[in-house]
Structure 1
Amino acid sequence: MPSVGLVIEMDGGLILVKRGGSVKTGQWAFPSGYIEEDESVEEAAVRESREETGLDVELIDLLGVYSFPEGPPSSGIIVFYRARPVGGTLCAGDDAQEARVFAPDDVPDMPFRTHRQVLQRWRILLHQRQIARESNELFYIRQAEPADAPVILELLKLVDANHDLSEEECQAVMLRFAERQTISVFVAETTGTPHDTIGFVALSLMQTLTGARGWIDDMAVAVGYRGEGVGAALLEAAMRHANRLNLTHLYVNTGRGNEATRAFYQAAGFLDGAISYLRIR
């Protein structure tokens, strides 16, 4: 059966539960459980957190999908999400004996290979975020989180073609952002306090008979930060992600922007035209 697991960040550490039940009893692991027939993967993740840790969580991003042909006790797949608490009180529930926060370097050895793998991936992503913060005095680039939706909507209105978005169109934007499956969104965030989101780029995946293409239709930078390299950094993040997805071409609709926007894309290597593209593989 498919399962879901959570890497919940809290107080600078990660939440683990001491397992009850009959499998790996008394050992520490990430909160996890089976997906029920009448719920989505996301709903199952939120439910498992509430049942095992007492916390209501917000899912930040997908960390990975792992298979475990070796069990336990039977084979299956598990989908892991990165999450953070938005309510509730940390306490052991369901079949957990205990729930507590561990510092990232003090996480005990976990009995499940998939849990150890996702912990390693989380540590790598944390290291990458730290490097990004240290390498740029003004901003860094990260994947968008659900909480970024309102500011992304405001930035979206800076695009010439979006100045007069109706209430219905804004609601549709928010819905597509929340349910995005083939769209990857990256944001630029300032390194100072408070952390302000100053730009974003959205990369859409298009499947064709001859392969997969990427499409950038939405990118915006806050007015006060233009000319600081924010747009170039966002575009670079989108191109790196396109390479990871093995996309062959990256397309952009420059007709939705102004002359400065078109000049920016041409400087980045895109061919001139209302619909421009860059061959990346």
Structure 2
Amino acid sequence: MTQQNTEERPVIAAAIVVHEGRVLMVRRRVSEGQLSWQFPAGEVEPGESREDAAVRETQEETGLTVKAVRLLGERVHPATGRLMSYTACEVIGGHAHIADTDELAELEWVTHAEIPQYVPYGLFEPVQEHLEAALTR
């Protein structure tokens, strides 16, 4: 009989950062399957809320200081099988740049019309709805 790993993998918290009519996207050095461009994200640490993790990961990866506005939703990502949490965030300070050069290769502020070029497989519906409202005003 083989022993099963009963330890769950940590939730991944993603930050949906909208600023001046664009959304922040990053390209990881190591892609997860077809996921090349994505939102700043990382594992939720023990005792940390999903919203706090999204804020922390954005700071660590991009140097940008953001605050969580609201949790948009959660799902098991169809491409990675990881439990994902998505939090809408707003910029409160700093300048976005590649702060974590080990993890990130590129960073872009993307318009609503450009999103399909970066994420051709589509977005999680609550994220899509949030971006349509935030980017098409």
With the length of structure 2 as denominator, give the TM-score of the two structures: 0.76
Kept in 2, the 8 Å contact 1:26–1:97? The answer is: no
The structure 1 residue matched to 2:71, chosen from 38, 62, 68, is: 62
Q: Aligned residues: percent identity?
A: 26
SS of 1:16's partner is: strand
Higher relative contact order (CA 8 A, sep 6+): 2
**Distance (whole Å) between structure 2 residues aligned to residue 30 and residue 93 of structure 1:** 14
Instruction: Rate the CA distance shift 1:77–1:89 in 2: closer, same or farther, 3 A.
Output: same
3-state SS of 2:74 partner: strand
1:83 partnered with 2:92: no
Displacement of 1:15 after TM fit?
A: 0.5
Partner of 1:212: none
The number of aligned residues is 124
Deviations 1:180-227 (A, max 9, x none): xxxxxxxxxxxxxxxxxxxxxxxxxxxxxxxxxxxxxxxxxxxxxxxx
Instruction: Tell me by how many angstroms 1:26 deviates.
Output: 8.4
Determine helix, strand or coil for the equivalent of 1:89: coil
Letter matched to residue 109 of structure 2 = V
Any conservation in 1 of the 2:13–2:54 contact (CA below 8 Å)?
yes
Measured after TM superposition, the shift of residue 65 of structure 1 is 1.3
**Amino acid of the residue matched to residue 37 of structure 2?**
W
Q: 1 CA distance for matches of 2:97 and 2:52?
A: 20
TM-score normalised by structure 1 residue count: 0.39
Shift of 1:71: 4.3
Partners of 1:39 and 1:57 in 2: how far apart? 16
Q: How far apart, CA to CA, are the structure 1 residues paired with 2:73 and 2:113?
A: 21
What is the CA distance between 1:82 and its match in structure 2?
A: 0.8
How far, CA to CA, are the matches of 1:122 and 1:67 in structure 2? 19
CA RMSD in angstroms comes to 2.5
Match of 2:108 among 91, 97, 100: 100
CA distance in 2, matches of 1:33, 1:24: 16
Paired residues for 1:51-200 under 5 Å: 51-68=60-77, 70-72=78-80, 75-94=81-100, 95-107=103-115, 108-110=117-119, 116-117=123-124, 118-126=126-134, 130=137
What are the Cα deviations for residues 48-98 of structure 1, in whole angstroms up to 9, with x where unaligned? 101121101011112111222x442xx232111111111122101320111
Select 1:8's aligned residue among 13, 17, 21: 17
1:47 and 2:56 are equivalent in the alignment: yes
Q: Secondary structure at the match of 2:45?
A: coil
Consecutive aligned runs of 4 or more in structure 1 exceeding 3 Å deviation:
123-127
Query: Which sections of structure 2, spanning at least 5 residues, go unmatched?
Result: 1-9
Distance 1:71 1:50 in 2: 25
Please tell me whether the aligned partners of residues 54 and 89 of structure 1 are also in contact (alpha carbons under 8 angstroms). Answer: yes
Contact (CA 8 Å) 1:7, 1:81: kept in 2 or not? yes
The structure having more radius of gyration, on CA atoms, is 1
Q: 1:24 to 1:56 in 2, by over 3 A?
A: farther
For residues 139-164 of structure 1, what are the alpha-carbon distances to aligned partners after superposition, in whole Å with 9 as ceiling and x for unaligned?
A: xxxxxxxxxxxxxxxxxxxxxxxxxx
Structure 1, unpaired ranges of 5+: 131-281
